[in-house]
Amino acid sequence: MSKPPKIPESVLVVIHTPELEVLVIERFDRPGFWQSVTGSKDHIDEPLVLTAAREVAEETGIVVGSPSVPERSLLDWHHQIEYDIYPEWRHRYAEGIVRNVEHQFSLLVPHCVEVKLAPREHTAFLWLPLREAAAKCFSSSNREAIFQLPERLAEHNR
């Protein structure tokens, strides 16, 4: 039985420590392609915050709502971008779908948080200073999101 088409609405979650060390993960299906946590809604009415928490857990093993990562650590930036889906990944979507809307989040975690990658999705992870993490990402929108992290955190704390 084949999978249903992906919903062209997704999340990007920039995971970081208090000192702005940023987690980047390497894609299993594209060695050398590093990114933040990303993923599509499972169903059209899935709340974005639940999509973000689910994707973080699935891809990194980090559980939003656990004692070390309380729910308030997941920050919805209330910012979205729309972009062209890479041609090599369009087969995952319904015929004719070529654009995706991505909603951006960040997640504050302690230094000691354990990362357990989903082996069919990612092969390696790194904690890097903000600029190095951004430079490592293959996607320009992911790089931009990482660069925006300090500004988004400052807005939230006002």
- Give exposure, 110-147, as e/b (b: 16+ Cβ within 10 Å): eeebebebeeebbeebebbebeebbebbebeebbebbe
| Domain covering 9-157, topology | Nucleoside Triphosphate Pyrophosphohydrolase (3.90.79)
Mention every residue, 6+ apart, whose C-beta is less than 8 A from residue 99: 8, 82, 83, 84, 85
Quick: pLDDT tens for 12-44.
Answer: 999 999 999 999 999 998 899 999 999 999 999
The predicted pLDDT at position 158 comes to 82
Quick: pLDDT tens for 62-110.
Answer: 999 999 999 999 999 999 999 999 898 899 999 999 999 999 999 999 9
Contact by Cβ (8 Å): 80, 86:
no
Mean pLDDT of 121-146: 96
Mean pLDDT of 132-142: 96
DSSP code, position 8:
S
The predicted pLDDT at position 102 comes to 97
User: Could you tell me the residue ranges of all domains in the chain?
Assistant: 9-157
- As a whole number of angstroms, the distance between CA 119 and CA 28 comes to 7
The predicted pLDDT at position 157 comes to 82
Mention every residue, 6+ apart, whose C-beta is less than 8 A from residue 57: 63, 64
Helices (H) and strands (E) in the chain, counts: 3, 7
Q: How confident is the model at residue 3 (pLDDT cuts 50, 70, 90)?
A: confident
Q: What is the pTM of this model?
A: 0.95
Please say if the pLDDT value at position 2 is more than 80. Answer: no
Give the β-pairing of 37-40 and 9-16: antiparallel
Tokens of 56: 């973080």
Q: What length is written for the chain?
A: 158
